[in-house]
Amino acid sequence: MGCKHAGSAASSGFAALHLEVGARLGRYEQRYTTYRRLLVEALSRAERPLTVAELVAMHPEVPQSSTYRNVTALMESGVVRRVAGTDGHGRFELSEDLSRHHHHFACIACGRVMDLAPSERLEHALSEAARVVSEEQDVEISEHRFDFLGRCSKCKAVAAAS
């Protein structure tokens, strides 16, 4: 397996992340292997959730079944979460407490899923929405998850041209 990236200068920015992920895996008696570190770094670097096929493409020397198993182990340890899209492909990202709060946009035409950069305006609108819910229902809102569906800029242009 390609171990050459581990411990390189490029990895040093992930020190705190690796420490936390290692601790989580340890709680589930899971080892933090070199390949799991590479997966975590890839997910951390990506600005959108990645499919297993995309993760496999980054390390074609690792069998797809092994990538699936490792992603599942990371998910079971609370390191990774699955993001719902508009197609059948599972997409994965680091848990929000290991990255940062954000939302997603999923294209109903081509299936691409992207992270929406955190914006003060959007968060303000969503906290207003939370206030409406807590006023209308007997609940207390502490956080939110909100994904948007529609057509991405590419598919929007195709639809407009046809």
Residue 109 makes contact with Zn ion by CB under 5 A? yes
Residue number, 6 or 126, with CB nearest to Zn ion:
126
Q: Could you tell me the smallest distance in angstroms from the CB atom of residue 47 to Zn ion?
A: 16
Nearest to 108 by CA among 150, 47, 156: 150
Q: At closest approach, how far in Å is the CB of 152 from Zn ion?
A: 3
**SS3 assignment, position 89:** coil
80 neighbors 95 (Cβ within 8 angstroms): yes
Please say which residue, 32 or 49, places its beta carbon nearer to Zn ion. 49
Site track for Zn ion across 110-129, x = CB under 5 A = x---------------x---
Rounded Cα gap, residues 38 and 84, in angstroms:
23
Give the closest residue to 115 by CA, choosing from 138, 160, 148. 148
Give the nearest distance from C-beta 71 to Zn ion in angstroms.
24
How many of the other CB atoms lie within 10 Å of CB of 106? 21
Q: Where does this chain touch Zn ion (CB under 5 A) — which range of 9-17, 55-63, 85-93, 146-154? A: 146-154
Q: Which is nearer to Zn ion, 55 or 152 (CB)?
A: 152
**109/141 with CB nearer Zn ion:** 109
Amino acid letter, 33: T
Question: Does residue number 107 form part of the binding site for Zn ion (CB under 5 A)?
Answer: yes
Sheet holding 80-83, edge to edge: 50-51, 91-94, 80-83
By C-beta, is 78 or 111 nearer to Zn ion?
Answer: 111
Measured distance CA(101)–CA(87) in Å, rounded:
23
Which residues bind to Zn ion, rule: CB under 5 A?
Answer: 107, 109-110, 126, 152, 155
